[in-house]
Structure 1
Amino acid sequence: MGVPSHDAVLIQKPKKPGEPHVITVNCPDKTGLGCDICRTILDFGLCITKGDISTDGIWCYIVLWVLPHTSTLIVKWSNLKDRLMSACPSSSVQFYLTISQHITSSPVYLLKFLSLDRKGLLHDVTRVLCELELTIQRVKVMTTPDERVLDLFFITDNMDLLHTKKRQDQTCEQLYAVLGESCISCELQLAGPEYGGHQAILTLSPAVAEELFRCEPLKDETYSRALTPDLTKLKKTTISADNTLSPAHTLLQIHSVDHKGLLYDIMRTLKDCSIQIAYGRFSPNVNGHRDLDLFIQQTGGKKIVDPEKQSALISRLKLEMLHPLRVIISSRGPDTELLVANPVELSGKGRPRVFYDVTLALKMLGICIFSAEIGRHFASDREWEVYKFLLEASGEFQFTNAMAKNQIVDRVRRTLMGW
């Protein structure tokens, strides 16, 4: 039977200011539904404070309590509801197929604008795109010799309205309003052959790739120095598997240091490993840590009884929870380059708001970005989304000082992780 599609997602407002909104999802189940919902919530700049998930393999019921990551964030709750509904399978198969095809065929547009260079410019543009629910697929940012910046953003519209003149005018007007007199020109059009229909494949030197994608980054001195205050908390992260409490499910008990997108990282890992969740509870933050109880099954409805499979799943979860993002500083001749990488889901989707957080961290440090690029790279038997920023030395950040470089890595990682 099922419920009408407009009732699949309900968002309840809090009774008092500062309390969380409650999101309820009640719809047919599908593999990876929890991941898709958590990804959408993260994309809107929200933090899941606690949650419950229950499914019988046919129908799914999810309740999540959410708060904005920052008090100044303005959330368009009706738009969030629409996005969550589009992620939910409908009781109507035809409707679901139509929605699925609609999502995968979103056209790519080229946003091209020329402006005078200034600190924080790239983040201000990215903030506008996020507020407009425009997703950055690729970006190419270049600074000209006369201190002008040419930005090429390849974007898709989560609202699927960018083909209309009203939506295009709204985008350019909002950019002009934020950039002010520094904005010289702004153009928006369908992407042509220069896009190619794919994420750009970035080429990295073997030494840089080895440092960026190594399996245990905490053993590297750069990561250790950048995370020294948090090493004690990170070491307290534990995951255990128990097959004695349920005749049909394996219980995963997770105790982890909290970070932005923690539930998303767990859900995407389970989705990529084809693990189904029958029941889950996500407890509130206590002293910087979260507890999760997840009753899971393999594809086919079987428990995970093989010790080697248990160990492999636990190791994979720990890696994805503790190091969902990689951040390094690299010297490229006389230039200094910041590289940030995150694993891509098997579905081909990258992590939301990474470009936003990195540019915010650099803006807070007062560092100008000479050029920026987003692309994909294959390493460690998986695909990664890689962000490359060529930085301009200024003031205290001359990049000859190791402490200054560590400070950049530290600030970028903490902004990304919400610490």
Structure 2
Amino acid sequence: MCFADVTCVLCEMELTIRRVKVSTTPDGRVMDLFFITDARELLHTKSRREEAYEKLQSVLGDSVTSCEIESATEDMSSCLQASALLSPLVLEQMFSEVDVIEEQSSRSRSDSRLSVTMDNSLSPVHTLIQIQCGDHKGLLYDIMRTVKDCNIQISYGRFYAGQKGRCEVDLFAVQSDGKKILDQQKQRSMCSRLRTELLRPLRVALVNRGPDAELLVANPVEVSGKGRPLVFYDITLALKNLHRRVFLAEIGRHVVDDREWEVYRVHLGEDDQELSCSVRSKIVDGVTNMLMGWD
């Protein structure tokens, strides 16, 4: 049974994974326990559960001996709570202003220059937001979630993907009151926010969890409360390609500097001392490249 195949099916069915626990019995059998919620809110119905059974069975085949879907008890629900607060060392490693992702970007893309400007001279009713940047998976999502969080409305736009992964985006925008963005401070603030979000849409780190290694992936939560889609699937697929198993996984939300982040914590179940610097870098780069859509 492939862990990534299960997460793929759940994502396709709009079943959101909240927490995962993987256990291995003495006879070598593996039990994966997924805590999920249904975006359609239909998981209590017989038809929805049968659909899930059928799709999981078609993917897993004879490798699965049992598959059950049941409502979580109160004791089980307590497992959904985020784990202990992130340590100061982890906070510094993942959320400092040091451009760790920029360094990774420069290694993965030869041309990663980023430019964000605003122009009020080209339209009588709109502010033109011009973005030039390197391409990555979820680029338009990162732009639109940032614009939305800044309470800016997009009337129309243009997207062009050129050679060598370069992208140009033109957005004709107005404020929530329908007027141009004329305030200089607001323009600077929004340009800075877009640069930050496009440069560092995700944070990836491999840290110690006691004697073992833990992979951390963080993405900002939208003002609406939604997290980034398909993150967990990309993580598990990357680990599958790297031949790394998942011992324990959990998804929690943490507030850092007045901003909410969705943090994926994947316990690899490997002795941290046995992972060389090159192996650690390979894991971080492999997961980052999968999340960002880089070859």
Task: Please point out which of 336, 340, 345 is paired with 2:222.
Answer: 345
Provide the residue aligned with 2:285 in structure 1.
410
Provide the residue aligned with 2:169 in structure 1.
292
1:171 aligns with 2:49: no
Provide the residue aligned with 1:157 in structure 2.
38
Provide the residue aligned with 1:126 in structure 2.
7
CA distance in 2, matches of 1:232, 1:125: 35
Where 2:246 maps in the other structure, the secondary structure is strand
Over residues 126-151 of structure 1, what are the superposed CA-to-partner deviations in whole Å (9 max), with x where a residue is unaligned? 122123x1322411213245244333
Task: Please point out which of 136, 140, 152 is paired with 2:16.
Answer: 136
- In the TM superposition, residue 184 of structure 1 has moved relative to its aligned partner by 3.3
One-letter amino acid matched to 1:217: D
Q: Percent identity?
A: 50
Provide the residue aligned with 1:378 in structure 2.
255
- The TM-score, its normalising length taken from structure 2, stands at 0.89
Where 1:186 maps in the other structure, the secondary structure is coil
Taking a change above 3 Å as real, the CA distance of residues 182 and 281 of structure 1, as seen in their structure-2 partners, is same
- In the TM superposition, residue 245 of structure 1 has moved relative to its aligned partner by 1.5
Over residues 293-349 of structure 1, what are the superposed CA-to-partner deviations in whole Å (9 max), with x where a residue is unaligned? 112122212322232221111111011112111100001232001000101111111
Where 2:43 maps in the other structure, the secondary structure is coil
Cα contact 1:139–1:151 (8 A) shared by 2: no
1:254 aligns with 2:135: no
Where 1:212 maps in the other structure, the secondary structure is helix
Over residues 41-70 of structure 1, what are the superposed CA-to-partner deviations in whole Å (9 max), with x where a residue is unaligned? xxxxxxxxxxxxxxxxxxxxxxxxxxxxxx
One-letter amino acid matched to 1:214: S
- In the TM superposition, residue 165 of structure 1 has moved relative to its aligned partner by 1.9
Where 2:93 maps in the other structure, the secondary structure is helix
Alignment of 1:7-406 (within 5 A): 121-131=2-12, 133-144=13-24, 146=26, 147-194=28-75, 200-202=81-83, 203-218=85-100, 224=103, 226-230=104-108, 232-234=110-112, 236-393=113-270, 399-406=274-281
CA distance in 1, matches of 2:78, 2:126: 42
One-letter amino acid matched to 2:14: L
Over residues 207-252 of structure 1, what are the superposed CA-to-partner deviations in whole Å (9 max), with x where a residue is unaligned? 112211223433x8xx73x444336422x11111112122332211
Cα contact 2:16–2:38 (8 A) shared by 1: no
One-letter amino acid matched to 1:367: R
Cα contact 1:138–1:200 (8 A) shared by 2: no
CA distance in 1, matches of 2:52, 2:259: 35
One-letter amino acid matched to 2:143: I
Where 2:97 maps in the other structure, the secondary structure is coil
CA distance in 2, matches of 1:275, 1:199: 34
Q: How many residues align?
A: 292
Taking a change above 3 Å as real, the CA distance of residues 150 and 215 of structure 1, as seen in their structure-2 partners, is farther
CA distance in 2, matches of 1:262, 1:198: 33
Deviates more, 1:159-168 or 1:336-345: 159-168
- In the TM superposition, residue 181 of structure 1 has moved relative to its aligned partner by 4.0
CA distance in 1, matches of 2:187, 2:194: 11
Over residues 12-69 of structure 1, what are the superposed CA-to-partner deviations in whole Å (9 max), with x where a residue is unaligned? xxxxxxxxxxxxxxxxxxxxxxxxxxxxxxxxxxxxxxxxxxxxxxxxxxxxxxxxxx
Taking a change above 3 Å as real, the CA distance of residues 295 and 207 of structure 1, as seen in their structure-2 partners, is same
Cα contact 2:130–2:169 (8 A) shared by 1: yes
Q: CA RMSD in A?
A: 2.5
Where 1:369 maps in the other structure, the secondary structure is coil
